Structure 1
Amino acid sequence: MKHCLPFASLALSMMLASGAALADTKIGVSMSQFDDTYLTYLRESMNDKAKTYPEGVQLQFEDARADVVKQLSQVENFISQKVDAIVVNPVDTAATKKITEAAVKAGIPLVYVNRRPDDTNLPPGVATVASNDLEAGIMQMQYLADKMGGKGDIVILLGDLANNSTTNRTKGIKQVLAKYPDIKIDQEQTGIWLRDKGMTLTNDWITQGRKFDAVVSNNDEMAIGAAMALKQAGVKPGTVLIAGVDGTPDGVRAVEKGEMAISVFQDAKGQAYGSVDTVMKMINKQPVEQAVWVPFQLITQENAKDFK
């Protein structure tokens, strides 16, 4: 027995050391909501990226359920747990000040992913990984303006009004429209990113007898909803041009089938990998860019297969 004890102690020490390595880095992640299609891909890709780190990275995901107060509480809980870093996909891009202040005061690195705070003057120890939403609006509207020959009527499906992705994508649309006085906005309403809301709004406009040549949607889900409403009303696919943003698998399929004219690819994997890489560099005291931009790409029927 005397000979067994040192061996047992050594084995126990090795197991404990191994266990410590597996849980070496803990990152708290607060997502604005789990049931958003695009954010699901983002979350899954973050998890995939974390698994590639040999030192062991544990991501603790929390669902803020589109509640600003709940999200702040989640961040405060991460801080009390003494996590190594925090990643936040903000519920409201205008309400991130308290989150930033709490993380900075605690000395915990913070990365905002996918949605950049309205306050872009962020302090040291805070970074963002996102795509420039203005570009997405410009890309989709310029394509439609060319296809429409610079004239006609459009409707705009807005995302969540508390989100600056909605503001900036729509700003990009209107920036292009400023060059085309013969393209008029007939309707502009929020479908809060949801397929069924996009379908309901489009159906309402059809029922009201409104005529429009294109639907410009802030995301793919609402765009797909619009396509479903038009199809249900007997409108031949392609008659009304529909543009989305995100390049989700459903969005890409809709473009391939001609149900949508285009989508603008927002790289969920690129944003996810970028956020995990950035926060790991911050944990390890390595230099990082405070604003990491992941570019958008246009998806058409011709190149849709490249985005599958």
Structure 2
Amino acid sequence: MSRQGPRQYPPRKTIPQPKEHELKTIIRLAALALALSLSATGPALAQQAKKTWKVGAAVYGLKAEFAQLWVNALKKHPLVKDGTVKLTVFDGKYDALTQNNQFETMITQKYDGILFVPIDLQAGADAVSKAAEANIPVVGSNGRVNSDKLLSYVGSNDVIAGAMQAQAVVDAMGGKGNVVILEGPIGQSGQVERRQGNLSVLAKYPNVKVLEMKTANWSRAEALSLTENWLTAHAGKINGIIGQNDEMALGAIEAVKAKGLDPKTIPTAGIDGVSDAVRAVKAGIMASVLQDASAQSQGALDVLLRKLIGASYKPRSAMWAQYGAAGLQWDDGAARAYNIPWTPITLQNADALLAQRK
């Protein structure tokens, strides 16, 4: 048996390497092909990458005009209008339990963030804590809640407003006489803080006495009925009326008229700057200060979006430029509280405010 010799292999072929100018051509063609591919699929990729943020606005109640102004302004935020924010508004029906249940719904449905206008300073804290446990940021607006889990608060300082309205009534009374105070829902931050502002001013005037101080729950109808009772119980003795919001002040004015009295003889003040109150200021039968619903709701959404989107987010609401000269700064959306200044309603600005709502 013969032995075979070593196996023979064909000579290895050398793969020719492209020359430099050929290599540049290959790179250019590859880059062109990639660019064409991206241009064809880019819009689809961009659409896939675009994030829609699911945001809930939990508002204590939607019957009164101020809450409606707040919600309507929120819907006009640029990123709500262009669909970047999918907004759902929840009517709390002036009930803390209802608001807590709405938070449960938003947590279960995995909302990205929540804007909270609470009915109760204390009860709302539990809802905020539950959202925080689910890693859902909450920004408060218009009303405060006692919780360190709240991302931020965008609203106005109600102590200041309470002091402003009480001072207006006392000045119109000449620093002496009897007043009645119509309060908001007991336990809501607006009621708590506006009362503080009211009483801080009245304490400076020993000749001013508070005859009555009860809640009318931000309601014009309740205030009308309550004031009618007071006007009967204290006939001829009520010299001024402090309504902790405009709706109640307007209800009180209706009661005064129903008793056949001239409302100009009983100075009355409210807070918020709702449309009927602006008209009453023009008529000389009421004083009020504007609580800027648009700045509150749109500013709150800006702060929430800064948390969700990150440092690249730039605020879209015009309120930052509007109040910048008054000291309200964006501060990269990281401040714990943003207090929007109050604006007294006057004959000079009344028509402009009404025109904005047409």
- Report what 1:24 is aligned to: 52
Match of 1:157 among 179, 182, 189: 182
Match of 1:40 among 68, 90, 115: 68
**1:259–1:188: structure 2 CA closer, same or farther, 3 Å change rule?**
same
Letter in 2 for 1:298: P
Cα distance in 2, alignment partners of residues 209 and 115 from structure 1: 33
Letter in 1 for 2:233: Q
CA contact (8 A) 2:113 2:138 kept: yes
Cα distance in 2, alignment partners of residues 20 and 76 from structure 1: 29
Match of 2:199 among 146, 170, 174: 174
Shift of 1:303: 4.1
CA contact (8 A) 1:258 1:301 kept: no
SS at match of 2:110: coil
Matched, 1:299 2:325: no
Matched, 1:266 2:291: yes
Aligned counterparts, 1:56-135, within 5 A: 56-119=84-147, 122-123=148-149, 126-135=151-160
CA contact (8 A) 1:50 1:276 kept: no
Q: CA RMSD in A?
A: 2.3
Shift of 1:193: 0.5
Match of 1:190 among 210, 215, 235: 215
Letter in 2 for 1:292: Y
Q: Which runs of 5+ in 2 are unaligned?
A: 1-38, 312-331
Cα distance in 1, alignment partners of residues 310 and 133 from structure 2: 17
- Report what 1:233 is aligned to: 259
Match of 1:137 among 146, 152, 162: 162
Cα distance in 2, alignment partners of residues 15 and 199 from structure 1: 59
SS at match of 2:179: strand
Q: Which of these two proteins has the greater Rg computed from alpha carbons?
A: 2
Letter in 2 for 1:33: G
**1:39–1:20: structure 2 CA closer, same or farther, 3 Å change rule?**
farther
Shift of 1:35: 1.4
SS at match of 2:288: strand
Letter in 1 for 2:222: K
Shift of 1:92: 1.1
Shift of 1:280: 0.8
Letter in 1 for 2:178: D
- Report what 2:279 is aligned to: 253
Greater shift after overlay, 64-73 or 105-114? 64-73
Cα distance in 2, alignment partners of residues 239 and 302 from structure 1: 23
Letter in 2 for 1:41: L
Cα distance in 2, alignment partners of residues 36 and 12 from structure 1: 49
Provide Cα deviations, 1:2-25, integer angstroms capped at 9, x if missing partner.
xxxxxxxx999968975884x711
The count of aligned residue pairs is: 294
> TM-score scaled by structure 1?
0.88
Provide Cα deviations, 1:226-254, integer angstroms capped at 9, x if missing partner.
11111121111311001000001111011
State percent identity of aligned pairs.
34
**1:16–1:197: structure 2 CA closer, same or farther, 3 Å change rule?**
farther
- Report what 1:223 is aligned to: 249
Shift of 1:112: 1.1
Cα distance in 2, alignment partners of residues 195 and 153 from structure 1: 22
Bigger relative contact order, structure 1 or 2, given CA contacts below 8 A and separation 6+? 1
Cα distance in 2, alignment partners of residues 202 and 117 from structure 1: 30
Matched, 1:148 2:173: yes
Shift of 1:275: 0.8
Q: Which runs of 5+ in 1 are unaligned?
A: 1-9
> TM-score scaled by structure 2?
0.76
SS at match of 1:245: coil
Cα distance in 1, alignment partners of residues 143 and 339 from structure 2: 11
Shift of 1:171: 0.9
CA contact (8 A) 1:94 1:162 kept: yes
Matched, 1:214 2:260: no
Letter in 1 for 2:136: I
CA contact (8 A) 1:134 1:172 kept: yes
Cα distance in 1, alignment partners of residues 156 and 165 from structure 2: 15
**1:84–1:158: structure 2 CA closer, same or farther, 3 Å change rule?**
same
